[in-house]
Amino acid sequence: MSLESHGTALRGLHRETDSLVRSHYGTFNRGDSPRNNQNEPFERRTRVMDFEAELQKVYAVFARICNLVVRLLWHCLHFLVSLWYFGLHIAEVLESYLISAGIFKRYRALNIHKLRYLAIVVESEDAYQISKVVQLLQWLADIGVTHVCLYDREGILKMSRGSILDKLKNVKLFEDVDENESLTDQQLMTLEFASFSDGKEGLAKAANLLFKEYLKLGGLSREQEEQIFTESHLTEALRTVGFKGPDPDLLLVYGPARCHLGFPAWRIRYTEIVMKNEKPRSLSIYTGSLINEAFLQWI
């Protein structure tokens, strides 16, 4: 091989090598090395990742600030609402104390004797507090209420009536009152204890009594049969079996339940029912509320 052909082969090999390097590393200026040119994409990716990390930090700080502001606003709103209800409760307590103390003139002229019969629904958990029940009855006697029916669903007060009567003076049970004696003529406090079972038992006994009378008569026409089971007959049957007390003029229910908790329905057909969302914390509040309701209804 001649020297000229050998030089031509070297130049061709050089061109092929240069093209391979350019295709792999890209074009670079004189003095640049392929290694430096290879680091440029890595540095670019690193800068992008650092920028994303900074954005995440800023977002995290912003989210914490927003969360703190929302929680602060919630606590402020909760405080304002609590303060509002606290003010309402204080106003109610103050009004009840002033009413029970006889400060307001318009309540002095209230004739509480117009309230002939008062029924109070007591929750079962409160019925165990016999001392508070006795204190309540004493307060009611002091303001002139003489006929009270205490009702609780489980019959706890009914089972504890012996201990209640022992702690009270000038009190007798409703069943001991003469039937011919008017409620307005009584000077002593008359107490009646009722429970949920009284309603079921009373209706069962009254229905059984009416059914026995129906069997005794026998051979009646359809119209005569319908006349036996009237409201007046049921009332008389309830009175006969001992479950027909007087209809209360006012029924007070304290507690979250918006119902009379099973108080005998046939006794509250014409009764004014007053429900309070929360139970009174003291008897003066209870008495003040009672006088207030009685004043609004019977003044």
pLDDT digits over 247-274, tens only?
888 888 876 677 777 888 778 888 888 8
Closest CA to 251 of 240, 259, 243, 241: 259
Instruction: Quote the pLDDT of residue 25.
Output: 47
Residues 259, 267, 294, 173, CA torsion sign: negative
pLDDT level of residue 47 (50, 70, 90 thresholds): confident
- What the block records as the tokens of 208 is 């059984």
Closest CA to 253 of 173, 142, 150, 128: 150
Name the 3-class secondary structure at 190: strand
* Strand ranges (E), the chain: 118-121, 147-151, 171-173, 189-194, 250-254, 272-276
Burial class (CB in 10 A: 0-12, 13-18, 19+), 222: exposed
Q: Which residue has the higher pLDDT, 3 or 239?
A: 239
Instruction: Quote the pLDDT of residue 51.
Output: 78
In the 3-class helix/strand/coil scheme, how is 146-177 assigned residue by residue? CEEEEECCCCHHHHCHHHHHHCCCCEEEHHHC
Pair 277, 289: CB distance under 8 Å:
no
* Strand ranges (E), 65-214: 118-121, 147-151, 171-173, 189-194
Q: How far apart are CA 157 and CA 259, in angstroms?
A: 19
Helix axes 196-217, 231-240, angle to 10 degrees: 110
Range with the poorest average pLDDT among 43-57, 212-226, 241-255: 212-226
Could you state, in order of their start, the residue ranges of all structural domains in the chain? Answer: 105-298
Q: Check pLDDT > 60 for residue 298.
A: no
Q: Check pLDDT > 70 for residue 32.
A: no
Instruction: Quote the pLDDT of residue 124.
Output: 76
Reported as a single tens digit per residue, the pLDDT across 95-148 is 767 766 667 666 665 667 777 888 988 887 777 888 888 888 887 887 778 888
Rg of the chain (C-alpha set): 45
Q: How far apart are CA 178 and CA 31, in angstroms?
A: 126
Q: What is the helix, strand, coil percentage profile of the chain, to 5?
A: 65, 10, 30
147 forms beta bridges with 190
Q: How far apart are CA 100 and CA 139, in angstroms?
A: 10
30 forms beta bridges with none
List Cβ neighbours of 297 (8 Å cut-off, separation of 6 or more): 250, 272
105-298, CATH topology level: Undecaprenyl pyrophosphate synthetase (3.40.1180)
Instruction: Quote the pLDDT of residue 40.
Output: 63
Instruction: Quote the pLDDT of residue 152.
Output: 86
Q: Check pLDDT > 70 for residue 277.
A: no
Instruction: Specify the pairing of strand 118-121 against strand 147-151.
Output: parallel
Range with the poorest average pLDDT among 66-75, 156-165, 196-205, 224-233: 224-233
- What the block records as the tokens of 29 is 């200026």
pTM: 0.57
Percent of the chain residues topping a pLDDT of 90 = 8
Q: How far apart are CA 73 and CA 84, in angstroms?
A: 17
